Amino acid sequence: MLKGKLKLPDKAKRAFPDRLGSLVAGFEDKEEGNRGSDLVFESGEELETIQPNGYGSGGESENDEDDEDYDEKVDRESDLRVRPKPEREGPGSVSVLAAIAADDKRSDLEYELSQPEINLEKLQRIASSGLPDGGGLRATAWKLLLGYLPPSRDLWEKELIENRLKYAKLKEELLVSPSQLTRKKVGALSYCDHPADGVVAGPLKRHEISEEDHPLSLGKASVWHQYFQHTEIAEQIDRDLQRTHPDLKFFSGDSSFSRKHRESMRSILLLFAKLNPVIRYVQGMNEVLAPIYYVFSTDTNEQNAANAEADSFSCFVRLLSDSVDHFCEQLDNSAVGILSTLSRLSELLKANDEELWRHLEFTTKVKPQYYAFRWITLLLTQEFNFHCIMRIWDSLLSSPYGVQDMLLKICCAMLLCVKSRLLSGDFVANLKLLQNYPDINIEHLLQVARDLSSDPSTYRLSLTL
């Protein structure tokens, strides 16, 4: 864990306070704010994953751009292709009704997103029941729910252009190697000093290299010193990205498009680390970034897909700002630290099922920090398959009370849904179960979470204000 304390501004009443300015210098605070995959999944079908190294036959031609684009499209679709589940209850009026309901939801969402002024409360209600796949709807909805896009459609183009330019400028300033910067400086000086007629009188002058620009300089102001400081972080990011969803070719493998995606994610994470020296990069941030980058990269709008890196960076920062204190070790014991959040989860379980709470807390002594630390810090990205993660995030991002409130309810629901197994298990069995959570009907899990009574600590907090 990283040292230091990140001071964030007071939370607003909105579910997603815009604290981008406190995390990333160069991105201005805005007051507007709340709150995809493009592949279609039919009701009654499940995802089919691939083996980490099962990429079909042969390699790709690096020189044939058309073939690479075609391969990327085919491989991306094969990553999340579906296969029908066996019929269990005969032919299906249920499937027909589900398809009709899905079409109605898509129509409602398309209509809402076409309005001059987006009704965020209505968008939250639609998203909480799951956003439809395909057509770039999830990408647009997530940008609105995260406050990256303002409710007024007239402002979308202006906001996107400004934020994308800011990202490009930050990337050029902070991710360019010192040698490239030096060449730029020398090139500019050479051009200015060069005679207009192109004739040089006398020997060429050797340009002086300042101490700050020297690779062997140990000064803290040296660009090379700062560059080498981030080398270790960059290597850690590279290792983590190699392990990001190895069953999906979108992220893994040696194809040109998977390497391109990893390079974009590497730039986002490294830029975040450089802009936030207190937090820097913490292992697992790659998992939080992955769903955002995937959804934005697979947007059917080509211009949006081409700018997925810039848009993902801004939305990643906004999402992380809601839970960034969990990554600061010095804040662990504070009111905003991870231990306080784990305590809230325990209180929530006690309020909804005291029998299970007592069994875990006193009988088997399976504390939340043994299993829920990963659940909370990584927003459940390690507990479910990728398609389920996107569905869960629809509910997280659309919560009117913020991501953390809904996240704790889902975590509590995860415990309640395996209550019988937990009550019959000992310390070892329960710990193994919760650290390797079993397959579950996601819609049922989310319904259990929605039906829970609210976090009692929230009421105690509101009474003291």
Q: In whole angstroms, how far apart are CA 253 and each of 316, 349, 381, 389? A: 24, 41, 20, 21
Cβ contact 78:39 at 8 Å: no
Structure confidence at residue 456 (pLDDT): 54
E strand or H helix at 377, and its extent? Answer: helix 368-377
C-alpha span between 297 and 299 (Å, rounded): 6
Lowest-pLDDT range of 198-202, 246-250, 313-317, 401-405: 198-202
C-alpha span between 205 and 214 (Å, rounded): 18
The mean per-residue pLDDT over the stretch 252-277 comes to: 95
C-alpha span between 149 and 155 (Å, rounded): 8
pLDDT, tens only, 164-193:
999 999 999 998 766 555 555 545 444 455
Neighbours of 443 (CB within 10 A): 11
Q: What is the CA radius of gyration of the chain?
A: 25
Structure confidence at residue 463 (pLDDT): 30
C-alpha span between 384 and 63 (Å, rounded): 37
Position 283 pLDDT exceeds 70: yes
* Half-sphere exposure for 109 (CA within 13 Å, toward CB): 27
Mean pLDDT, the chain, whole residue set: 78
Cβ contact 266:293 at 8 Å: no
Q: Per the structure block, which two tokens stand in for 43?
A: 């009701």
DSSP secondary structure letters along 49-96: ---TT---SS---TT-HHHHHHHHHHHHHHHT-EEEPPPSSSS-HHHH
Which residues have CB under 8 Å from 321's CB, separation 6+?
Answer: 8, 17, 19, 20, 22, 23
C-alpha span between 60 and 254 (Å, rounded): 9
Residue 328 pLDDT grade (very low, low, confident, very high; cuts 50, 70, 90): low
C-alpha span between 182 and 223 (Å, rounded): 10
**For residues 211 and 4, which has the higher predicted lDDT (pLDDT)?**
211
Position 86 pLDDT exceeds 50: no
Position 411 pLDDT exceeds 80: yes
C-alpha span between 365 and 137 (Å, rounded): 44
122 Cα distance to chain centroid = 23
Position 160, amino acid: L
Position 446 pLDDT exceeds 70: yes
Residue 93 pLDDT grade (very low, low, confident, very high; cuts 50, 70, 90): low
pLDDT, tens only, 14-39:
444 444 444 554 454 444 444 444 44
Residue 311 pLDDT grade (very low, low, confident, very high; cuts 50, 70, 90): very high
C-alpha span between 428 and 346 (Å, rounded): 19
**Coil vs helix vs strand at 308:** helix
pLDDT, tens only, 358-410:
999 999 999 999 999 999 999 999 999 999 999 999 999 999 999 999 999 99
C-alpha span between 157 and 161 (Å, rounded): 6
Position 465 pLDDT exceeds 70: no
**Coil vs helix vs strand at 385:** coil
Name which of 8, 21, 277 is nearest 163 in CA terms: 21
The residues pairing with 47 across neighbouring beta strands, listed in sequence order, are 82
DSSP secondary structure letters along 133-145: SSTTHHHHHHHHH
Which residues have CB under 8 Å from 334's CB, separation 6+?
Answer: 325, 340
Residue 113 pLDDT grade (very low, low, confident, very high; cuts 50, 70, 90): very high
Percent of all residues in the chain with a pLDDT value above 90, rounded to a whole number: 56
The mean per-residue pLDDT over the stretch 137-150 comes to: 98
pLDDT, tens only, 49-84:
444 444 444 444 445 555 555 555 555 555 554 444
The mean per-residue pLDDT over the stretch 85-109 comes to: 72
C-alpha span between 334 and 76 (Å, rounded): 43
